[in-house]
Structure 1
Amino acid sequence: MRKSYRLKKDDEFQRVFKKGKSFANRQLVLYYLPCEDQTHFRFGLSVSKRVGNAVVRNRIKRYIRQAFLELEPDVKPSYDFIVIARMPTKDMDFHQVKKSLTHLLYKSNLLQSKNRQNRK
Structure 2
Amino acid sequence: MKKEYRIKKNDDFQLVFKKGKSFANRQFVVYKLKREDSNHFRIGLSVSKKIGNAVCRNRIKRYIRQAFHEFETEIDSQNDYIIIARKPAANMDFHEVKSSLEHVLKIAKVMKRSKKSYSK
TM-based fold match above 0.5: yes
Shift of 1:47: 0.2
Shift of 1:59: 0.2
Length-normalised TM-score, structure 1: 0.97
2:61 paired residue number? 61
SS in 1 for 2:51: coil
| Counterpart-to-counterpart distance in 2, 1:119 and 1:19 | 31
Give ranges in structure 1 of 5+ residues lacking alignment: none
1:85 paired residue number? 85
2:116 paired residue number? 117
Runs of 4+ in 1 over 6 A off after TM superposition: none
Q: How does 1:26-41 map to 2 (within 5 A)?
A: 26-41=26-41
Q: How does 1:86-101 map to 2 (within 5 A)?
A: 86-101=86-101
Give ranges in structure 2 of 5+ residues lacking alignment: none
| Counterpart-to-counterpart distance in 1, 2:105 and 2:116 | 14
Length-normalised TM-score, structure 2: 0.97
Task: Say how many residue pairs are matched.
Answer: 119
